[in-house]
Every structure is written in C-alpha cells, then in structure tokens.
Chain A
Amino acid sequence: MSLDLIIFIVLSALTLASAIGVVITRNPITSVLLLILTFFCISGHYLLMNAQFLAIVNIIVYAGAIMVLFLFVIMLMNLNKDTEPQKSTMVQFAGVISGGCLLLVILMAFQSSGIELTQTSTTVSNIGLIKVLGKKLFTDFVFPFEISSVLFLSAMIGTVVLGKKDDDIATAIQDS
C-alpha cells in the first residue's frame, strides 16, 4: 500500500464524514464548521490530483470568503440554538429515497459508460499549474472571464440594493 493510497483513503473518509455531518447536524454553527473542514479535505484531494491552482483557489474563496460570510450571517441572526423545527418524517423519508435513486442512476451511468479506471501517473503532469491555466484563461477563455467580472459587478450591486433598508431607498427616490 503506497503512501498516496493511504492519504487518499484517510482524506476520503474525513470528507464523507464531515459532509454527512453538515447535513444531519442540528446546530447551524456546527454545520458551517464541518463545511469548512469538508472544503479543506476537498482541497487536499485537488492537491493529490495535481491541481495546485484549484486547491489554493478553493481554500481562499470557499474556506476564506464564503464560509466567513455564512458564519457572519448566522452570528448576525443569533441562530445558534438547537431548536430548529424539523420537517415531517414522510418528507425526510422521501428525500432520502430520491437521493438514493439519484446515486443509483449516477452509478449505473458511470458503470455503463465504459471508462476504464487506470492508475494515472501522478507526478509528471503539470496541467494544474497556474502558468498553464492562466495562459489558457487569457487566450481561449478570455470572453467568459470578462463576462464573470460583469457577473460579479451585478452581484455586488444586487447585494447592496437588497441589503439597504426600505426607507433609505424611499428617501433616495424622493431626493432624485
């Protein structure tokens, strides 16, 4: 058993356990912390698969920015109590059944697609480096890249407009 395999198994177990914990835990704060752990494990998987750029971006964007945003909102609303009303048992059962059906469909599709799973060489590939990805991003994919900047601008404006209080907007309309 090689070292790669041991690291992979440990990381996978940790990822699955924390992801399941996100779904079934009652406290939203615990849920957020487990989600951060999941994202770090997924970054470890990216590193194992030689996607160094995506591992760094995953840690910075998800664990750094998005999770802080979640934590901030939860603290702001003072929701850290365990008394969340649960859905009825039947709806939960239906959710489990439909999720299981989806898993079954994906497994069957994967099995019938005929992809042979071989152990790829994990040391010589350099497609995950920032140099390669950046060159590709600014030549072949420059148009989606610019579009995403417009998307961020619209998301920022939308968030500010939504977050403003209603009377602020009313006075702004009256002033103009």
Chain B
Amino acid sequence: MGVLMRRNAIVILMCVELMLNAVNLLLVAFSTLYGDSDAQIFVFFIMVVAAAEVSIGLAIIVLMYRKVQSVDINILNRLKN
C-alpha cells in the first residue's frame, strides 16, 4: 500500500523491503509448520536479492537526486510526452 500511496522514492523502496519481509515471514512460518528447511534456504536467497536490489536502487536514487534535486517520483514522467 505504501508503494501506491507515497511519492518519496526512498520511502517507496522501504515499502518494497517491507513486502519482501512479509513474504519471508510467511515462508518461515510454513517451513516451521511442515518441518522442512528448504523454505529457509529460499528466505536466505530472498535476503541476498533484496540486499543487491537496495544497493542498486539507492544508487539510482542518488543519481536522480543529483540530476533533478528531488526524490519526488512525479517529476520522472518525461517518458509520457
């Protein structure tokens, strides 16, 4: 919901992290329910991908801030015209 409601790019990235953590929590819960450790390996890989994604996303946000002096996503609508 935060992804849809906010305009600050950093907060949107944080909300994506929150959603990934919700999935992680659900996977761990099911792994405990079924006594299977494959799901925990999967959670580990989700964390790996999330870490890489955050580093790239923050680099892109820094680049955007350097260009337009703002992190408002509504400025980035130049592909429209």
> Which of A58, A141, A155 has a CB less than 8 Å from the CB of B47?
A58
Which secondary structure dominates where chain B touches chain A? helix
B32, A51: Cβ atoms closer than 8 Å: yes
Write out the residue numbers on chain A whose beta carbons fall within 8 Å of the beta carbon of B74: 85
Residue of B nearest to A34 (CB): B14
With a cutoff of 8 Å between Cβ atoms, the chain B residues found around residue A163 in the complex are 59, 62-63
Chain B residues whose C-beta falls within 8 Å of the C-beta of A158 in the assembled complex: 56, 59
B17, A144: Cβ atoms under 8 Å? no
Bound: A45/B74 CA distance, A: 37
Q: Give the residue of B5, B13, B24, B52 whose beta carbon is less than 8 angstroms from that of A155.
A: B52
B31 CB to nearest A CB, Å: 7
A22-B18, A132-B37, A155-B56 are known contacts. Are A84 and B31 too (CB-CB below 8 A)?
no
Contact B14 A144 (CB under 8 A): no
Number of contacting residues on B, CB 8 A? Answer: 51
Interface residues of A: mostly helix, strand, loop or mixed? helix
Partner of B54, one of A54, A66, A79, A120: A66
Query: Would you call A133 and B41 a contact (CB within 8 A)?
Result: yes
Complex interface residues of chain A between 21 and 58 (CB less than 8 A to chain B) = 22-23, 28, 31-32, 35, 38-39, 42, 45-46, 49-51, 53-54, 57-58
CB–CB B4/A94 < 8 A: yes
Q: With contacts A23-B6, A69-B54, A127-B37 known, is A50 near B17, CB below 8 A? A: no
Q: Chain A interface residue count: which class?
A: 35 or more
- In the complex the two chains form, what is the Cα distance from A154 to B29 in whole Å? 32
Which residues on the B side are within 8 Å of A51 (C-beta)? Answer: 28, 31-32, 40
Q: In the assembly, what is the distance between CA of A94 and CA of B41, in Å?
A: 36
CB-CB under 8 A from B59, the residues of chain A are 158-159, 162-163
6 sampled A-B residue pairs with Cβ under 8 A: A35-B18, A46-B28, A128-B32, A128-B40, A137-B44, A159-B55
Extra inter-chain contacts (14) besides given A61-B47, A66-B51, A79-B10, CB under 8 Å: A22-B15, A23-B5, A45-B25, A54-B40, A66-B54, A91-B5, A92-B5, A95-B1, A127-B37, A133-B44, A136-B41, A137-B41, A148-B48, A151-B49
